């Protein structure tokens, strides 16, 4: 549908999405055809090198105490590093002064005013979920790439850090909820650039209809739900962005049929902002709603917030620098972020012969375990295979702090540690 183009402007924004990863270097997508599973449990005894210690070591979710030892375990079936454990419980989306909290509240306002407070809201559900909840309950096939150790953080073979808020759909249905919004932090092993971070935030929406609702329309249940879903989300996009040009793209998710993505035209680019669809009947049948129909959506909060607030780098959401935090206040949607002076990046290249089990996500975990948020991007810049069949990769690592200038010495030190750890943990041969 063509609507007037918004005056809101976006900044640097790559086309890659948090909801669906489509470029070839990124493996995690619910939309990819099911490629064979790359289960490389080899990686992350990384966590054993304790470069950085988590701030808290015992967390509490709804009365349940979780200690570091429960989450970061010295076991090949565990791939959660300390850097990830340290993010558990921070719940940026529950801070009213934080861009993610401000955005969450603005979405709540939209639902409260359009649906007379009918939607139940959850923003404190524990991010540690079972494989059943994260994958089986939403019909993710056994061989789907998102189940791999390369893409998902496993605590043990049956327990993961949720990789999407869809992990809560089935349980909430079983508990009798029919209209709900679930906001939470989600975790994915991934490559590194200004729009990808291994922890980000999603909001899930879910609405069930009973036959009395669609029958008078003369439409079939699925078409009715799909039409209602699109109307709801178009309204939400206008509520957040003002008049904006948007389009629907057909796609695939295991849990919905039909499935769609909503794209918004922004700074001369189509930007994907959410995935959604009409819930698979099987999910409703298994969870106490056999005669009904439902729609669901999952939206990436960082992606929307980067556009709404002009935030150029996803690491900034985690910054406690006052020059960032002081720019946002409760209820103020779309105040434009004014970058405090941009510090220069420093690039370091690293070439090596890869091993059979090498993956880019594992390399990124190594780099993060050493450099934390000082790493801005890890990019493959050269890739060749010699006559003997050995493959060489060259990665360019960009180091940059959001908050200060880095010294040469500091960066060289980081780079040496990255090289050493890559050699030891990833079994690559440096060139
Ligand atoms: N869980 C999907 C993702 O993270 C997003 C999504 C798509 C959620 C469709 C839904 C849905 O509830 O119906 O990529």
Ligand 1 nearest atom to the CA of residue 279, by list position: 13
**Given this model, what pLDDT does residue 55 score?**
53
Q: Is 19 in the pocket of ligand 1 (CB under 6 A)?
A: yes
pLDDT in tens, 301-312: 998 999 899 999
Residue appearing with tokens 């001369």: 268
**Pair 295, 181: CB distance under 8 Å:** no
**Given this model, what pLDDT does residue 59 score?**
81
Region 385-392: mean pLDDT is 97
Outline where DSSP puts E strands in 210-327: 246-253, 256-266, 269-279, 293-300
Ligand 1 nearest atom to the CA of residue 275, by list position: 7
**Pair 399, 371: CB distance under 8 Å:** yes
**pLDDT above 90: residue 20:** no
**Pair 190, 283: CB distance under 8 Å:** no
pTM metric for this prediction? 0.86
Give the confidence band of 56 by pLDDT, cuts at 50, 70, 90. Answer: low
Region 234-256: mean pLDDT is 93
Q: Is 144 in the pocket of ligand 1 (CB under 6 A)?
A: no
Question: 201 or 55: whose pLDDT is higher?
Answer: 201
Give the confidence band of 272 by pLDDT, cuts at 50, 70, 90. Answer: confident
**pLDDT above 80: residue 152:** yes
Q: Is 232 in the pocket of ligand 1 (CB under 6 A)?
A: no
**pLDDT above 50: residue 391:** yes
Is there a cis peptide before residue 258, judged by omega within 30 degrees of 0? yes
**pLDDT above 60: residue 41:** no
Q: Is 20 in the pocket of ligand 1 (CB under 6 A)?
A: yes
Question: 59 or 327: whose pLDDT is higher?
Answer: 327
**pLDDT above 90: residue 295:** yes
Ligand 1 centroid–CA 322 distance in Å is 34
Share above pLDDT 90 across residues of the chain, in percent, rounded to a whole number? 78
Cα–Cα nearest to 416, from 365, 371, 353: 371
With residue 58 as reference, give the H or E element that holds it. Answer: strand 58-61
Q: Which residue's CA lies nearest to atom 3 of ligand 1?
A: 19
Q: Is 200 in the pocket of ligand 1 (CB under 6 A)?
A: no
List Cα–Cα distances, 116 to 111, 113, 177, 232, 320, in angstroms.
8, 6, 16, 14, 36
Half-sphere exposure of 130 (CA within 13 A, CB side): 7
**Given this model, what pLDDT does residue 54 score?**
45
**Pair 410, 418: CB distance under 8 Å:** no
Give the confidence band of 340 by pLDDT, cuts at 50, 70, 90. Answer: confident
């Amino acid at each position: 549908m063509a609507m007037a183009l918004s005056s809101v402007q976006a900044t640097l924004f790559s086309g890659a999405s948090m909801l669906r990863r489509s470029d070839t270097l990124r493996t995690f997508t619910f939309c990819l055809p099911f490629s064979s599973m790359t289960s490389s449990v080899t990686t992350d005894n990384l966590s054993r090198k304790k470069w950085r210690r988590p701030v808290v070591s015992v967390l509490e979710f709804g009365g349940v105490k979780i200690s570091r030892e429960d989450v970061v375990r010295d076991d090949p079936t565990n791939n959660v590093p300390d850097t990830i454990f340290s993010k558990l419980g921070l719940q940026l989306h529950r801070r009213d002064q934080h861009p993610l909290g401000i955005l969450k509240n603005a979405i709540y306002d939209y639902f409260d005013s359009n649906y007379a407070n009918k939607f139940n809201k959850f923003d404190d559900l524990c991010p540690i979920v079972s494989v059943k909840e994260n994958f089986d309950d939403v019909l993710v096939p056994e061989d789907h790439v998102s189940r791999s150790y390369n893409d998902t953080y496993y605590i043990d073979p049956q327990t993961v850090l949720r990789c999407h808020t869809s992990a809560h759909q089935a349980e909430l249905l079983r508990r009798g909820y029919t209209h709900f919004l679930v906001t939470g932090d989600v975790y994915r092993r991934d490559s590194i650039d200004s729009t990808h971070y291994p922890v980000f935030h999603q909001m899930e929406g879910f609405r069930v209809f009973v036959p009395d609702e669609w029958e008078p329309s003369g439409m079939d249940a699925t078409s009715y739900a799909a039409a209602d879903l699109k109307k709801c989300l178009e309204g939400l996009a206008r509520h957040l962005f003002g008049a904006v040009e948007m389009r629907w793209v057909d796609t695939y998710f295991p849990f919905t049929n039909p499935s769609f993505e909503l794209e918004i035209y922004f700074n001369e680019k189509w930007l994907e902002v959410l995935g959604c669809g009409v819930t698979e009947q099987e999910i409703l049948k298994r969870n106490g709603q056999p005669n009904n129909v439902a729609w669901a959506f999952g939206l990436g909060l960082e992606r929307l917030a980067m556009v709404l607030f002009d935030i150029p780098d996803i690491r900034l959401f985690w910054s406690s620098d006052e020059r960032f935090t002081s720019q946002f206040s409760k209820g103020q949607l779309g105040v434009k972020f004014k970058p405090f002076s941009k510090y220069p990046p420093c690039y370091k290249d690293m070439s090596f012969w890869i091993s059979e089990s090498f993956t880019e996500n594992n390399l990124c975990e190594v780099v993060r375990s050493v450099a934390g948020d000082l790493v801005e991007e890890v990019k493959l810049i050269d890739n060749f295979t010699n006559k003997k069949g050995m493959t060489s990769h060259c990665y360019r690592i960009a180091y940059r702090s959001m908050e200060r200038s880095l010294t040469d010495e500091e960066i060289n030190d980081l780079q040496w540690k990255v090289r050493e750890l890559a050699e030891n943990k990833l079994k690559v041969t440096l060139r």
